[in-house]
Amino acid sequence: MTSRSNWATAPAIEKNSRKRRSLVPFRIRFDRLHEVLQAAYGWSNSHLYEFRIRDVGLGIPDGGFEDPIDARKATLLSAIEDIGARSFKYLYDFADGWTHTVKIAKTFPVIADLNDPFLLDAVGRCPPEDVGGPWRYEEFREALANKNHERHDELVAWWGSADYDPAAIDVSAVFAPLDWLYFEACCVCEKVSRTIWRFAWQMMDLLGATKLSSRAAETDVGRML
């Protein structure tokens, strides 16, 4: 892997798939990648996280005996080059136990003046925060759909409605946070804004895509198990 491969991509579809495809620069720090995943999925960034690349952990050290590597000081490129893996785990909310698999599907050459993440596609709704993890999430869905379920009234009150479609995505809610991440870095740079559209057409050619969102590029970040 050389400095010419500055952008990474990834895929993932499974049972009850919640898939996000986005493009991120290879030199992105892991704490920043965490923010991208949070925004892309619609999590509220209110719990601890850790990346697991084989037997190496990256997160926020708390002074414990087996602290992870500081995610604020490690980049995706350095970790992949050192460890050699092209897929890894992203763990979020250790109590609920959400595990995402991130796969690097493709790499692309450096695009001058373009260094920010983009969300291309989103499939499947993110589970509610603090629902209780995968098993409780299934119970949550069953209870809302069944008026005779013993926890129906309780979970309707907690959720605020009996309506829940696991396939429905609030596009504005998912894409807006990544817009904020982007404009946080680039709102004053008109050259970058023009570069985005040039980059979008280049990605269409590279990917053979017939339709891209205004984000332009590709990384499938994560399947949630």
- Mean pLDDT, the chain cut into blocks of 10 residues (225 residues total): 44 56 86 91 92 93 85 90 87 93 81 73 89 94 96 97 89 75 48 45 46 37 43
What would the two tokens of residue 159 be? 């959720």
> What per-residue confidence (pLDDT) applies to 65?
74
37 & 91 share domain: yes
The CATH number of residue 216's host domain is 3.10.290
133 & 211 share domain: no
> What per-residue confidence (pLDDT) applies to 14?
37
Instruction: Give the domain range for residue 149.
Output: 129-164
> What is the pLDDT of the chain when averaged over all its residues?
76
* Count of the separate structural domains present in the chain: 2
99 & 133 share domain: no
Model pTM score: 0.75
Strand stretches in 37-92, DSSP E: 49-53, 56-59, 69-70, 87-92
> What per-residue confidence (pLDDT) applies to 193?
43
Please identify, among 113, 139, 164, the residue that sits at the C-terminal boundary of a domain. 164
136 & 69 share domain: no
82 & 107 share domain: yes
Scanning the structure block, which residue is given the tokens 């053979």? 208
d(CA 10, CA 145): 33
33 & 100 share domain: yes
45 & 137 share domain: no
d(CA 193, CA 188): 9
121 & 135 share domain: no
190 & 217 share domain: yes
| Farthest-apart Cα atoms in the chain, separation | 59
* Residue whose C-alpha is closest to residue 104's, from 209, 204, 196, 12: 12
Contacts (Cβ under 8 Å, ≥6 apart) of 198: none
Cα–chain center distance at 136: 22
Tens digit of each residue's pLDDT (9 = 90 or more) over 52-104 = 999 899 999 987 778 899 999 999 988 888 888 888 999 999 999 999 999 88
Check: CB of residue 172 under 8 Å from CB of residue 103.
no
3-state DSSP call for residue 6?
strand
47 & 79 share domain: yes
136 & 48 share domain: no
> What per-residue confidence (pLDDT) applies to 196?
46
Strand pairing class (69-70; 56-59): parallel
175 & 91 share domain: yes
